[in-house]
């Protein structure tokens, strides 16, 4: 029984790993191929099967004037928009979540839970519903096709995630902890940043991670709200696909665009694996 | 100079959490608040700390209106029943936290913290993380933080309730020492608990609270000997005092077809119906006694608790040895008539074996 279990366990782990890693390796290998190696026959092993070339990668940093596609600028645009929007969302979202978790709001029939649901409902709505209002809104205030406009839209998209995660997190931090801080001579602001915040780091990291992921991978709004002035990475990568699909540079750009998420995952994993995500407080 | 509360009421929802509570706490004294869970003990302590504002009533301390002073300026200390410490700080930092908040000099902080650590017996644990400590140790840290503050009002909200039996016994013993050594003469110590035994051991002034109302105030001994009504008798005894509906006539006490000779202290009572009270420990197994049916027998430590039934009356007897009984078995027991309480039909104390009456 236990042998069978061990066998099945490793079988599925191996299966899943191959399932996940194989396309990735395929992309790595494809990014070093040229037109010949991709289109003639299926090739696997560099030097033996095909002659590796850096052409797919070079195209990415060459300016369009020289026949390249230059993803450097969209890359930094994406980093700027994602980081700025995530940071603002986390700061505002955490404050909102703390208030929603600790204070009681009453306005007509609206209570704390209704406000929290209002935040979350922004994510339940299909993005397509929001596209036209956002478009009109940004064009009215003159921020269409600009980084600032994208930051504003992304804050609207990301803050609900931050509020949602942090409300849940703060609800699990005992209220007595804040009260003890007050009794020990902290005013409410000091209680928040001296006691509650340092104990919320795992929650902040998770919220930050989700904000960065959702901000980074968004294609829809980046596509609709930008034209020529500003381009974000996902749009640029998809735009590579023209009459002839350049599999090599498409693979290379895909790898470059997942790299930051992999780095984020490795950093965050250290905190998550400590097991102090929820067990930080009894 | 006392901590005085007058007619405090707090009613956040349908029910009163505090209902017309008044008190006058003097410096250098120990006060225990005895009550069952949800009787308003924590609410009362939080109101004194300033975490809750009462709907009505006033609290003054050293002739100042306490309610106008925010929590963080009141200089009170509080220990919760949950072990509340700052998880991101180590033991030493946990205790210095309130002192640094008050911007004391580093020398003063070190002196106070070392003293507090010594009092609670945590010397050598300074650099430990809170999560590495046992429940008892965590509660010691919380206590040390409260002691180091040298607050004028120290509130302890059921500090032992979440500890296991053995640790509770041990810490309860130590509390008595800590309270006599670790506190200055102008501290008011307020200790809330559900456990009558703790109240008796701490031996301070007691306030019995139920459904937000003060039922009785007085020294621990007085509460134990002369509970002013049935509720107090129930709350201040563990297991709760047994109640037997019966009556007295010129010859004997009568309940459930049992006739007992009238003990001296009940001789002068009017002949009528009463609620008789008898502690579980005043009931003994006796071959010549009255027959009761066993509903449940629990062994706790070296004692056996017998839940007994006869007619409409259910009582609990505390047998001071470990014995095995079968459920529905019949046993014979004898009541110590000299320890009978008589409560009127309005549940107020009429006569107690210790001479108390309810006026």
Single out the residue in B166, B198, B227 at which a domain terminates. Answer: B227
Judge whether A278 lies within some domain: no
Single out the residue in A16, A35, A62 at which a domain terminates. Answer: A62
**pLDDT recorded at residue B328:** 87
A8, A39: one domain: yes
B213, B251: one domain: no
Cα–Cα dist B43/B159, whole Å: 15
Q: Which residues form the domain of A37?
A: 2-62
Cα–Cα dist A240/B162, whole Å: 64
**pLDDT recorded at residue A7:** 94
Cα–Cα dist A228/A221, whole Å: 14
Nearest chain B residue to A185, by CA: B72
Cα–Cα dist B2/B31, whole Å: 13
Single out the residue in A62, A87, A106 at which a domain terminates. Answer: A62
Phi and psi dihedrals of B254, rounded to 5?
A: -140, 125
Q: Does A174 touch chain B (CB under 8 A)?
A: yes
B24, B166: one domain: yes
What angle do the packed helices A201-217 and A247-273 form, to 10 degrees?
170
A41, A111: one domain: no
A88, A42: one domain: no
Q: If pLDDT is split at 50, 70 and 90, which confidence band does A273 have?
A: low
Q: Using the 8-state DSSP alphabet, how is residue A67 labeled?
A: T
Tokens 């994406």 locate to A78
The region of weakest confidence among B28-32, B102-106, B267-271 is: B267-271
What total of structural domains would you count in chain A? 2
A57, A190: one domain: no
Interchain pair B78, A177: CB under 8 A: no
A32, A77: one domain: no
**pLDDT tens digits, residue range B120-173?**
888 889 899 998 888 888 988 998 999 888 888 999 999 988 888 888 888 888
The region of weakest confidence among A69-83, A102-116, B172-186 is: B172-186
Judge whether A281 lies within some domain: no
A144, A178: one domain: yes
Judge whether A184 lies within some domain: yes
- Percentage of chain B modeled with pLDDT above 90: 28
A97, A25: one domain: no
Is the pLDDT reported for residue A77 higher than 90? Answer: yes
Cross-chain CB nearest to A185 (options B83, B85, B102): B102
Judge whether A282 lies within some domain: no
A162, A122: one domain: yes
Nearest chain A residue to B95, by CA: A184
Token pair belonging to A80: 């700027």
Judge whether B136 lies within some domain: yes
Cross-chain CB nearest to B77 (options A181, A183, A195): A183
Tell me how long chain B is.
359
A43, A79: one domain: no
Nearest chain A residue to B146, by CA: A184
- B113 to chain A nearest CA, in Å? 14
A34, A131: one domain: no
Interchain pair B84, A182: CB under 8 A: no
Nearest chain A residue to B150, by CA: A184
Contact B125, B85 (CB under 8 A): no
A96, A56: one domain: no
- B6 to chain A nearest CA, in Å? 22
**pLDDT tens digits, residue range A128-183?**
888 899 999 999 999 999 999 999 999 999 999 999 999 989 998 888 999 999 99
Helix (H) or strand (E) holding B325: none
A169, A229: one domain: yes
B55, B95: one domain: yes
CB contacts of B77 in chain A (<8 Å) are 183
CATH value at residue B325: 2.40.50.140
Single out the residue in B227, B242, B259 at which a domain terminates. Answer: B227
Interchain pair A185, B70: CB under 8 A: no
Q: Which residues form the domain of B19?
A: 3-227
CATH value at residue B74: 3.40.50.300
Helix (H) or strand (E) holding B95: helix B91-101
**pLDDT recorded at residue A278:** 43
Of the residues B97, B109, B146, the best mutation for testing chain A's interface (the one with the most A CB atoms within 10 Å of its CB) is B97
What total of structural domains would you count in chain B? 2
Most confident of A88-97, A109-118, B347-356: A88-97
Contact B226, B61 (CB under 8 A): no
Tokens 């003054």 locate to B60
B264, B135: one domain: no
């Amino acid at each position: 029984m236990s042998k069978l279990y061990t066998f099945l366990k490793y079988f599925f782990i191996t299966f899943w790993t191959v399932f996940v890693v194989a396309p990735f390796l395929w992309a790595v290998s494809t990014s070093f191929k040229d037109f010949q190696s991709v289109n003639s026959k299926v090739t696997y092993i560099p030097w033996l099967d095909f002659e590796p070339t850096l052409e797919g990668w070079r195209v990415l940093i060459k300016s369009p004037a020289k026949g390249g596609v230059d993803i450097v600028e969209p890359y930094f645009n994406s980093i700027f928009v994602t980081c700025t929007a995530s940071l603002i969302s986390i700061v505002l979202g955490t404050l909102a979540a703390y208030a929603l978790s600790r204070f009681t709001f009453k306005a007509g029939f609206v209570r704390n839970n209704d406000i929290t649901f209002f935040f979350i409902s922004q994510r339940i709505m299909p993005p397509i519903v929001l596209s036209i209002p956002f478009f009109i809104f940004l064009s009215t205030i003159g921020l269409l096709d600009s980084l600032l406009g994208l930051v504003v839209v992304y804050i609207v998209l990301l803050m609900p995630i931050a509020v949602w995660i942090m409300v849940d997190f703060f609800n699990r931090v005992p209220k007595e902890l804040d009260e003890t801080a007050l009794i020990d001579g902290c005013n409410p602001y000091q209680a928040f940043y001296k006691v509650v915040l340092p104990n919320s780091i795992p929650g902040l990291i998770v919220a930050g991670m989700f904000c960065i992921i959702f901000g980074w991978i968004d294609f829809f709004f980046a596509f609709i709200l930008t034209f020529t002035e500003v381009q974000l990475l996902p749009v640029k990568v998809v735009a590579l696909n023209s009459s002839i699909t350049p599999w090599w540079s498409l693979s290379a750009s895909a790898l470059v665009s997942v790299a930051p998420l992999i780095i984020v995952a490795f950093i965050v994993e250290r905190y998550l694996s400590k097991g102090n995500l929820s067990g930080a407080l009894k | 100079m006392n901590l005085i509360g007058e007619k405090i009421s707090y009613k956040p929802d349908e029910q009163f959490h505090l209902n017309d509570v008044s008190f006058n706490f003097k410096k250098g004294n120990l006060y225990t608040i005895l009550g069952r869970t949800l009787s308003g003990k924590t609410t009362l302590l939080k109101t004194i700390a300033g975490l809750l504002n009462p709907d009505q009533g006033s609290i003054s301390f050293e002739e100042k209106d306490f309610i106008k002073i925010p929590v963080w300026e009141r200089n009170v200390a509080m220990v919760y029943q949950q072990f509340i410490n700052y998880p991101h700080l180590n033991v030493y930092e946990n205790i210095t936290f309130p002192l640094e908040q008050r911007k004391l000099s580093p020398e003063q902080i070190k002196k106070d913290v070392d003293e507090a650590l010594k009092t609670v017996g945590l010397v050598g644990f300074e650099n430990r993380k809170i999560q590495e400590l046992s429940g008892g140790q965590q509660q010691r840290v919380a206590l040390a933080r409260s002691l180091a503050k040298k607050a004028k009002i120290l509130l302890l909200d059921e500090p032992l309730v979440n500890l296991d039996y053995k640790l509770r016994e041990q810490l309860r013993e130590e509390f008595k020492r800590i309270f006599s050594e670790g506190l200055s003469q102008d501290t008011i110590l307020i200790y809330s608990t559900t456990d009558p035994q703790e109240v008796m051991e701490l031996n301070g002034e007691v306030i019995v609270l139920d459904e937000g109302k003060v039922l009785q105030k007085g020294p621990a001994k007085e509460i134990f000997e002369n509970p002013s009504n049935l509720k107090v008798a129930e709350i201040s005894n563990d297991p709760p005092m047994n109640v037997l509906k019966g009556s007295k006539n010129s010859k004997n006490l009568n309940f459930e077809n049992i006739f007992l000779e009238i003990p001296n202290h009940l001789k002068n009572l009017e002949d009528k119906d009463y609620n008789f009270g008898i502690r579980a420990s005043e009931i003994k197994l006796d071959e010549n006694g009255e027959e009761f049916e066993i509903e449940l027998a629990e062994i706790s430590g070296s004692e056996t608790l017998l839940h007994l039934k006869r007619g409409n009356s259910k009582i609990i007897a505390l047998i001071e040895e470990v014995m095995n009984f079968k459920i529905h078995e019949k046993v014979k027991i004898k009541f110590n008539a000299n320890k009978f309480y008589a409560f009127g039909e309005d549940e107020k104390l009429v006569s107690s074996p210790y001479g108390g009456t309810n006026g």
